[in-house]
Chain A
Amino acid sequence: MSFLAFFFILISLVTFVAAQLILKRAMEFSATHGLRNAYFMSRVTIGVVLMTVSFFLTLGLLQRFDLSYLYPFQGLSVIFITILAAVVLKERLSARLTIGALLITAGIVLVSMS
């Protein structure tokens, strides 16, 4: 894999993870403050923009690699999102959930290596 391919996979991953955290925060906010407010709308817009960037980068990568090879790189997002949800969003992580997320990530990485 070229450096350029690695770079685009990384950007696609970072934008996707950031979008999930921002969208979760927006939906939590909407549960108490409703949908019609500037904070909610701006966060959802940022989330959608980040997901759109990730989507088009993935589309560009799909033209070069098999889906079954490329797609599992997104699996790394499992462990990033689980940890960041605990750190940034203050969600509670049980040992069971952490081990489960690690196994899912390991499995996805294995799939991508094969």
Chain B
Amino acid sequence: MRCFDRALEKRMQNRPSGFGNPWLQLGVSVVFVFVSELLLKRGASAIAAPDEPFSWTGINGLASPLVWWAIVLIVGSFVSWLYVLRYIPLSLAYPLSRVVDILVPLGCWIFLGELISTLRWCGIALVVIGLALVAKPIAKMEERL
């Protein structure tokens, strides 16, 4: 663990600050993914045609303007993500990026009117604990830098 910390700490000492901060870019990527998922669901539902033979490919989703907005956000999140990958190990960055798995059900509840059951709330709680475990050493490292 210490070895891992030191290697990451050394790399992060040279990280860009401000908007180029990899942690900020990770946040930007997560927000873009979150909004794009909600837009995709809205867009896909609006033009849903499950009986058509090629609808499994999702290509017909391109008929919805919301899907195109979602694609713009996905491209944006992808660029941020590539930037993140340049600085942060994948085994660290990817679990942290899954904070979106809490945001999406909450967003579905708030914006799309989908229900959240007790079991689903328990699942969300487990994700929060897991994220806290992964993020705590990073917060300590950032304090040292």
- Residues of A whose CB lies within 8 Å of any CB of B are 4, 8, 20-21, 23-24, 27-28, 30-31, 44, 48, 51, 55-64, 66-68, 71-72, 74-75, 77-78, 81-82, 85-86, 89, 91-97, 99-114
CA distance A51 to B85 in the complex (A): 15
Residues of B within 8 A of A93 (CB): 91
A95 to B133, CA, bound (A): 10
Cβ B101 vs Cβ A72 within 8 A = yes
A-binding residues in B (CB < 8 A) = 1, 3-4, 7, 37-38, 40-41, 44-45, 47-50, 55-59, 61, 67, 74, 78, 81-82, 85-86, 89-92, 94-95, 98, 101, 104-105, 108-109, 112, 114, 116-120, 122-134, 136-137
Inter-chain contact B104/A27, CB cutoff 8 Å: no
List the A side residues contacting B117 at CB < 8 Å: 114
Give the one of B50, B91, B94 with max A CB within 10 A. B91
Give the A-B contact count at a CB cut-off of 8 A: 198
Q: Majority SS of interface residues in chain B?
A: helix
B58 and A59: CB pair below 8 A? Answer: yes
Closest to A81 in B: B94
Hey, which chain A residues are within 8 Å of B92, CB to CB?
91, 97
Beyond A78-B98, A85-B91, is A111–B105 a contact (Cβ under 8 Å)? yes
Q: A60-B58, A75-B98 are in contact. Are A104 and B131 (CB under 8 A)?
A: yes
Cross-interface CB contact of A107 among B85, B94, B126, B137, cutoff 8 Å: B126
Considering the chains assembled together, what is the distance between the CA atoms of A71 and B55 in angstroms? 18
Is the Cβ of A68 less than 8 Å from the Cβ of B57?
Answer: no
Say how far A55's CB is from chain B's closest CB, in angstroms. Answer: 7
